[in-house]
Structure 1
Amino acid sequence: MSTPKKREGGGRTYRRVHNALWLRLTDGTYRVGDVLPTQRELEKDLQVSRTVVQSVLKDLGERGFLASVRGSGTTVVALPTAKGSPQSDSQVRPTLYEYIGTAFSEPEVTLDLVALTAETFIGHFRSQTELVEAGRITPQRVTVRMLLPSEDADLEFPRALDPKDDRVRLRWRNRVRLHIAEMGDYCDRLKAQNVEVKLLIRRRRRAPEFKLVLLNDTHALVGLYSPVVGPIRLDDGTVVQRAVDVKGVGVNLHHYERHVVGVEDDDSQYGDYREWFDSRWKLST
């Protein structure tokens, strides 16, 4: 992924919105021919100013992914592709899309995940499954370990501020159940392509403070979950006006790479996250 320019209204907010729309282009949310929501709708959805939305759309248009016609909105005309090694710099954070694509280019794929819902991860996993089915990549073995919150845990988030209102937590529970079922379907599709697949899921009795993905025992991507208070729309269309959720879409990820000292020792920050995940995995059931 090449580096977008830092435009007016840039900085952290610009990067978050750019990452959010980039994710939607790569995880199947937006496909070629789709018309994007209006700028006003994106402004409300992403909770940013119109200037930031316009700046990000302009950059994606200049790079050949979007085309805008007055009176007809903004249309997706091309999708990004992961080529070569992931890149990052001071302007654009690394993306899970890039790193999971690189992981699947290897014959042996190992993915360890800590997340609140795993929705983004599973979207990217689906994209890689479709590439396998198309014959564009040919992994031999895929092992996935997912560490998610327990369904009956008293989670700090997501939840309604009214302790008697359980609707937000139930919404989270139902979505996680759906995502896990989808993950199983994608694994079955890989098996149908003669890929050896192992999917393991364990539960923790607390909400994670950060999203963590370990890829091929080489790379770690880490993004902090930042709780925010505001309205949450339920699946039936009703709105819980005061609830706690976390900013998941477009969250900034930080990359850490494994550095081996001697034979097995690893003194990098990657090693710290690897040790953290393995210890929590052993304690979970």
Structure 2
Amino acid sequence: MRASESDEGGGRQFRFVRSHLMARLRDGTYTVGARLKTQRELAEELAVSRETVQKVFGQLAEEGYIETRRGSGSVVVRLPGTRDSQGEPTLYDSIDEAFGEPEVSLDVVSLTSESLVGHFKAQVERVEARQLAPRRVVVRMMLPSEGADLLYPRAPDPKDDVRVRERWRNRVRVHVAEMGDYCERLQAAGVDTTLEVRKVRWTPDFKLYMFNDAHALKGLYIPVEAPLRLDDGTMVKEAIDVKGVGVSLRRFEKSSGADVDSDYDDYRAWFESHWKLVARSPKGD
């Protein structure tokens, strides 16, 4: 067995599966009493070994998030707070922190924005419930053009490649439409809200989130080769894709005081220059 699959303390696949499930517990996909997918289903969906999923389930049970019940599978019994128990920065934390301010800005670079949508929705629902009251929300999303020759996702067989690319396009369209819907809901709740999407013709090798011009989260996209389930339920036996949900993120703070420069400042300059000079409106994409 490979160490990356069996090492509970730091194995990449273990951390990926755990982060995926914790994100779903936070964003409302799973609520208390909900039944998780089976270990076999999750292993197939996430392209990891069943043993890795079993180890993650075991840890979540020890931490009191789930219980395994005879005849019912694994059931959610407790939801997490805003901090990941392993101390890693999370997208949930940062969006939650950003929405605590009267002026919210969110700049995004990603392949599909799948990770973003659920967390953004949770904040919209808090605004609608009058738990939060931001005055203004501005979202800028930089995504690959649908016509770009992406390095991933793709498949070696031309017929499969067409289907894999269409799967990616469908996901991008859905997530952008969902963000549009959530921003309209914020408008209806009395929040001055702006959403702008621009496209680039290159493959992102990282996801980047910048919050309130104060801090950023960055995570690397790591290509993996594994079977891929298409939207119609059929499987492509061989495809290259990346795992977006659950990617480890690093946090970068904006420079202040004695700090005359920082990684955050570099990422801010990079985003602004690409937004202004490289990215284009998706019209005619």
1-structure distance, mates of 2:127, 2:199: 29
**Counterpart amino acid of residue 159 in structure 1:** R
Q: 1:236 to 1:50 in 2, by over 3 A?
A: closer
- 1:28 equivalent in alignment to 2:28: yes
Matched position secondary structure for 1:11: coil
Query: Quick check: 1:129–1:190 contact (8 Å CA) kept in 2?
Result: yes
1:230 matched to which residue of 2? Answer: 226
2:120 matched to which residue of 1? Answer: 125
Q: 1:206 to 1:246 in 2, by over 3 A?
A: same
1:282 matched to which residue of 2? Answer: 276
Matched position secondary structure for 1:212: strand
Q: How does 1:42-121 map to 2 (within 5 A)?
A: 42-82=42-82, 91-121=86-116
Q: 1:178 to 1:149 in 2, by over 3 A?
A: same
2:189 matched to which residue of 1? Answer: 193
2-structure distance, mates of 1:75, 1:231: 27
**Counterpart amino acid of residue 158 in structure 1:** P
- 1:9 equivalent in alignment to 2:8: yes
1-structure distance, mates of 2:103, 2:260: 21
Aligned Cα root-mean-square deviation (Å): 2.1
1:217 matched to which residue of 2? Answer: 213
**Counterpart amino acid of residue 24 in structure 2:** R
CA-to-aligned-CA distance 1:14-50 (integer Å, 9 cap, x gap): 3222211101111222122210112233333334444
Give the drift of 1:121: 0.5
Query: Quick check: 2:114–2:244 contact (8 Å CA) kept in 1?
Result: no
Give the drift of 1:167: 1.2
Identify which range, 193-202 or 239-248, moves more after superposition: 239-248
1-structure distance, mates of 2:185, 2:80: 24
Query: Quick check: 1:114–1:146 contact (8 Å CA) kept in 2?
Result: yes
TM-score by length of structure 2 reads 0.88
2-structure distance, mates of 1:47, 1:156: 19
**Counterpart amino acid of residue 10 in structure 2:** G
1:137 matched to which residue of 2? Answer: 132
Matched position secondary structure for 2:217: strand
Q: 1:151 to 1:51 in 2, by over 3 A?
A: closer
Query: Quick check: 1:159–1:168 contact (8 Å CA) kept in 2?
Result: yes
Q: 1:282 to 1:99 in 2, by over 3 A?
A: same
Query: Quick check: 1:8–1:52 contact (8 Å CA) kept in 2?
Result: no
1-structure distance, mates of 2:227, 2:55: 27
1-structure distance, mates of 2:100, 2:114: 22
Query: Quick check: 2:47–2:227 contact (8 Å CA) kept in 1?
Result: no
Counterpart pick for 1:267 among 252, 261, 264: 261
Query: Quick check: 1:261–1:267 contact (8 Å CA) kept in 2?
Result: no
Q: 1:138 to 1:61 in 2, by over 3 A?
A: farther
Counterpart pick for 2:236 among 229, 235, 240: 240
Give the drift of 1:218: 1.1
1:206 matched to which residue of 2? Answer: 202
Q: 1:105 to 1:172 in 2, by over 3 A?
A: same
Q: 1:135 to 1:65 in 2, by over 3 A?
A: farther
Q: 1:45 to 1:177 in 2, by over 3 A?
A: closer
**Counterpart amino acid of residue 107 in structure 1:** P
2-structure distance, mates of 1:242, 1:152: 22
Identify which range, 12-21 or 181-190, moves more after superposition: 12-21
CA-to-aligned-CA distance 1:82-112 (integer Å, 9 cap, x gap): 2xxx679xx5421101111111111111100
**Ranges in structure 2 where 5+ consecutive residues have no aligned partner:** 1-5, 281-285
Counterpart pick for 1:167 among 155, 163, 167: 163
